[in-house]
Homo-oligomer: A and B are copies of this chain.
Amino acid sequence: MVDRPTINRRRLLTGGAAVAATGATLASVRATEKGTDTAGFGAHRESFHGVHQAGVATAPQAHATFVALDLRPGAARSPREALTAVLKLWTSDAARLTQGEPALADTEPELALRPARLTVTVGLGPAVFDQIGAPHLRPDGAAPLPTFGVDRLDEKWCGGDLLLQICADDLVPVAHACRVLLKNVRTLATPRWRQNGFRGAHGADTDGTTMRNLMGQVDGTANLRAPGEFDRYVWDAGEQHRWFAGGTVAVIRRIRAEMDTWDELDRTSKEMALGRRLDTGAPLTGAREFDEPDFAAEENGIPVIPPNAHIALAHARTDDEHFLRRGYNYDDAAGECGLVFAAYQRAPMRQFVPVLRRLAGADALNAWITTVGSATFAILPGVPTDGYLGQPLLEA
């Protein structure tokens, strides 16, 4: 049995009456579920166990919460012990919650019953490897990105020892899972930042384009889709570190949209900055979203897609420059909006950074977008049914 050091849970588990009540409740909760809970996508589940964690290759759910946490100094006998406890707790909780089952001693078990494709994806920040005395086991890719002159990074959206990425097609299981997962490790780790994001609702359907961001653009047309591409570009194969086989590296960048000035721009100028039509998402040289852009095409000697258009610079120039985009819109209560840009790849420096460098240098869109946060995490390999997240690292 996993060691569970949090106070609340201990209190529940050691109070006899509470244990009895919880046990009876879980039984009745399950019975209710079996009786009535078959309709609607709330019942849909994503597997938790496997070679890879869910939440990366998983078809993007409508909602996402990204939480970065820092290990609390002195919370356990050592940072390694604290990390091990966190990862065991999260494994136990996520294995249940993603399958529509209450966590152990879940205090709101009814909120767990309709996961709506809930996924929980866990990553480690670069500094953790030093903290646990294993700097030699850090994947090269799990390092902060270089800084770019156009960035305006705010510490409050940067870094973190741990990443908790929680996605579902319904906000109730997201909120519940977030509460449970944070509460159960409270004595061991403190939230550093939290970013909430959304895409179009499940079942609302679209006009057939890729998701749109709040600037009105289709976002993520050039993306990995085939399983072979995931093996090549996303999933680590264990060459550098055997323990990391099946993992990947996530880069979470908070990109603010400068809506006021963007909205002053006419549509033709917006489309020139993007290199795509706003309505269909087609490149300026094509008719449909997925038409291959023709960067050589000219009209009266002038390139149809300007050389500094976003897609001209973002387009892969080598076979390495591919990565998974899995971003979410944000629209905060203060009226600021933008994109929680989430990129997943084996080697950011080879796959993602060359693209970022080109964009930072010349992207016509830079006048209307500002990167205000950046964090990199080693997304742990998937978990076999008898294991826990990070076990190959911690027992390496």
Residues of A within 8 A of B (CB): 8, 11, 15, 17-18, 21-22, 25, 28-29, 32-33, 36-37, 39-43, 62, 107-111, 113-114, 116, 169-172, 175-176, 178-179, 182-183, 191, 194-196, 198-208, 212, 214-216, 259-260, 262-264, 266-268, 278-280, 329, 331-335, 337
A216 partner residues in chain B, CB cutoff 8 A = 107-111
Bound CA span A37–B209, Å: 11
Contact A170 B32 (CB under 8 A): no
User: In angstroms, how far is the closest chain B Cβ from the Cβ of A333?
Assistant: 5
A170 close to B204 (CB less than 8 A): yes
User: How far apart sit A33 and B179, CA to CA, in the bound complex (Å)?
Assistant: 40
Residues of B within 8 A of A169 (CB): 201, 204
25 example contacts (A-B, Cβ-Cβ < 8 A) are as follows A8-B260, A11-B264, A17-B268, A21-B267, A32-B207, A32-B279, A32-B280, A36-B207, A40-B205, A41-B205, A62-B201, A110-B212, A114-B206, A169-B204, A171-B201, A171-B329, A172-B199, A172-B200, A172-B214, A175-B198, A175-B214, A175-B337, A178-B331, A179-B337, A201-B202
The smallest beta-carbon distance between A11 and chain B, in angstroms, is 7
Instruction: Please indicate the chain B residues that have their CB under 8 angstroms from the CB of A11 in the complex.
Output: 264
A191–B329 touching, CB < 8 Å: no
CB neighbours (8 Å) of A40 from chain B are 203-206
**Which chain B residues border A194 with CB–CB below 8 Å?**
333-335
* Cβ B214 vs Cβ A267 within 8 A: no
**A259 to B179 Cα, complex, angstroms:** 9
A193, closest chain B residue (CB): B333
- With the chains together, A11 CA to B261 CA distance in Å? 12
List, in ascending order, chain B residues with CB within 8 A of A37's CB: 207
Given contact pairs A32-B280, A178-B331, a sample of 8 additional A-B residue pairs in the complex whose CB atoms are under 8 Å apart: A36-B208, A41-B205, A42-B200, A107-B262, A169-B204, A172-B329, A175-B331, A176-B214
What is the CB-to-nearest-CB distance from A368 to chain B, in angstroms, rounded to a whole number?
12
Interface centre among A201, A264, A268 (most CB of B within 10 A): A201
| Residue in contact with A279 in the complex, picked from B25, B195, B278, CB distance below 8 Å | B25
Q: How far is the CA of A43 from the CA of B32 in the complex (A)?
A: 33
Contacts of A107 in B (CB 8 A): 216, 262-263
CB neighbours of A17 from chain B (8 A): 266, 268
> Which listed residue (B15, B116, B214, B278) contacts A201, Cβ 8 A?
B116
User: Does the CB pair A207–B113 fall under 8 Å?
Assistant: yes
In the bound complex, residues from chain B placing their C-beta under 8 Å from that of A183 are 263
Instruction: Kindly report which residue of chain B lies nearest to residue A19, judged by CB atoms.
Output: B266
Interface centre among A43, A170, A191 (most CB of B within 10 A): A170
Q: Are B170 and A200 in contact (CB under 8 A)?
A: yes
- What 10 pairs between A and B have smallest CB-CB spacing? A40-B205, A108-B216, A42-B204, A170-B201, A107-B263, A175-B331, A171-B198, A203-B203, A170-B204, A18-B266
The complex places the Cα of A392 from the Cα of B255 at a distance, in Å, of 45
Instruction: Tell me whether B279 and A175 are in contact (CB under 8 A).
Output: no
Closest chain B CB from A74 CB (angstroms): 22
Chain B residues closer than 8 Å to A28, beta-carbon distance: 279
- CB nearest to A331 among chain B residues: B175
Name the B residues within 8 Å of A29 (CB-CB): 279
Contact A333 B195 (CB under 8 A): yes
Docked complex Cα distance between A175 and B212 (Å): 12
Are B204 and A41 in touch, CB under 8 angstroms?
A: yes
Docked CA distance A42–B279 (Å): 17
